[in-house]
Amino acid sequence: MKLNWNYPTTVWTGENRSNDIIEACIVSKIKNPLFVTDKDLISLPMTIKLIEKLRKNFKELNIFSKFSGNPIGKNITDGVETYNNAKSDGVIAFGGGSALDVGKAIAFMCCQTRPIWDFEDIGDYWKRANENKISPIIAIPTTAGTGSETGRASAIINEKTGVKKIIFHPKFMPTVVILDPILTIDLPPNITAATGMDALAHNLEAFCAPGFHPMADGIAIEGMKLIKNSLSLAVRDGHNIKARSEMLAAASMGSTAFQKGLGAIHSLSHPVNAQFNVHHGLSNAIFMPYVLTFNRNEISEKIISICDYLDLKKSFDSFIKWVMDLRKEFNIPHKLSDIVDEKKIALDKLSEMAFHDPSTAGNPKKLTKEDMKNMYQHSISGDLF
């Protein structure tokens, strides 16, 4: 058995660690950064404060923020143009998963001659890249969900096909990650909840994925423990720094762990994100119980071991109840049809997209297109398996 285990980069964590941004640039050998954030964050006080600090230390600071949630290929093309015109030598990615994904993709694509879709996470496509000039990245998340700051990929929608693609290369990994809970305290409760459920989905699917990866399993189960301890606290009291810190850690841990694999929660989510612009964490939360019950026979023992570690009653049903109770507490809809008009849901198209999603291969139970359609149908009706 031959396996490759890879782990994250340098992580600086703690209150106000974003004040160390200049030191992070020095460590990363960045002298002319491109600051990447989304259009919703660019005018917030915390962003302005960080930009002012950077401008005091660099002769010129270029900014790219022409994108929002669920980024598309054109966002990367435009960002690369800005990066190359400014002769930047590194990226500071600041924001939620979308901003981090865009920032990483710009740093990766600034020296490539092939289109971004040639580096989809399929086989060894990543070896097509010219990796000698991939730029250094500093990642500063402002949400605790995707864990993109410790991930080796970006999720980008191909606007021509409407399909969300996972673009992968080992050097997508940031040089320095800064986890500063202060940056997350003003996150609204509904976004705190949705991003937290995203982190749960990452840790959970990684733990349940088949294969031998005890280090990923250890990280994933501890990540779930942090989420159980802190997600509800962070939603109820956004200024709880300990809870915010633990959720940031859990998000980074989920991304680290899912190198082992993901599964149908993500396979079902990605097409819905791309077709209907639904928040990724929200869709993951909706699909979670349907996928868990579908996979029940294959994952029961693992779920019981999670229950043991999380101090839940040791049964599959008790874990499902915990997930359902979390969703109810956070006012997360039970059905896909609660957030997407059922008349607009083309099941055959979505099922085809989900079946071909790279996360499908990591599902504990081997999947068919009909399985995908079946799970979508259950998520619309609200009936668990």
pLDDT, one tens digit per residue, over 197-253 is 999 999 999 999 999 999 999 999 999 999 999 999 999 999 999 999 999 999 999
Strands 163-168 and 153-158: antiparallel
With a CB cutoff of 8 Å and minimum separation 6, the contacts of 106 are 34, 36, 64, 76, 79, 80, 83, 91
pLDDT of 5: 67
pLDDT of 1: 62
pLDDT of 8: 86
Q: Are 83 and 108 in contact (CB under 8 A)?
A: no
**Yes or no: domain 10-183 corresponds to CATH 3.40.50.1970:** yes
State the Cα angle at 354 between 353 and 356, rounded to 5°. 70
For the chain, residues with pLDDT lower than 50 are none
Topology of 188-381 in CATH? Dehydroquinate synthase-like, alpha domain (1.20.1090)
3-class DSSP string for the chain: CCCCCCCCCEEEECCCHHHHHHHHHHHHCCCCEEEECCCCCCCCHHHHHHHHHHHHHCCCCEEECCCCCCCEHHHHHHHHHHHHHCCCCEEEEEECHHHHHHHHHHHHHCCCCCCHHHHECCCCHHHHCCCCCCCCEEEEECCCCCCHHHCCEEEEEECCCCEEEEEECHHHCCCEEEECHHHHCCCCHHHHHHHHHHHHHHHHHHHHCCCCCHHHHHHHHHHHHHHHHHHHHHHHCCCCHHHHHHHHHHHHHHHHHCCCCCCHHHHHHHHHHHHHCCCHHHHHHHHHHHHHHHCHHHHHHHHHHHHHHHCCCCCHHHHHHHHHHHHHHCCCCCCHHHCCCHHHCCHHHHHHHHHCCHHHHHCCCCCCHHHHHHHHHHHHHCCCC
Domain range list for the chain: 10-183, 188-381
Neighbours of 29 (CB within 10 A): 10
pLDDT of 229: 98
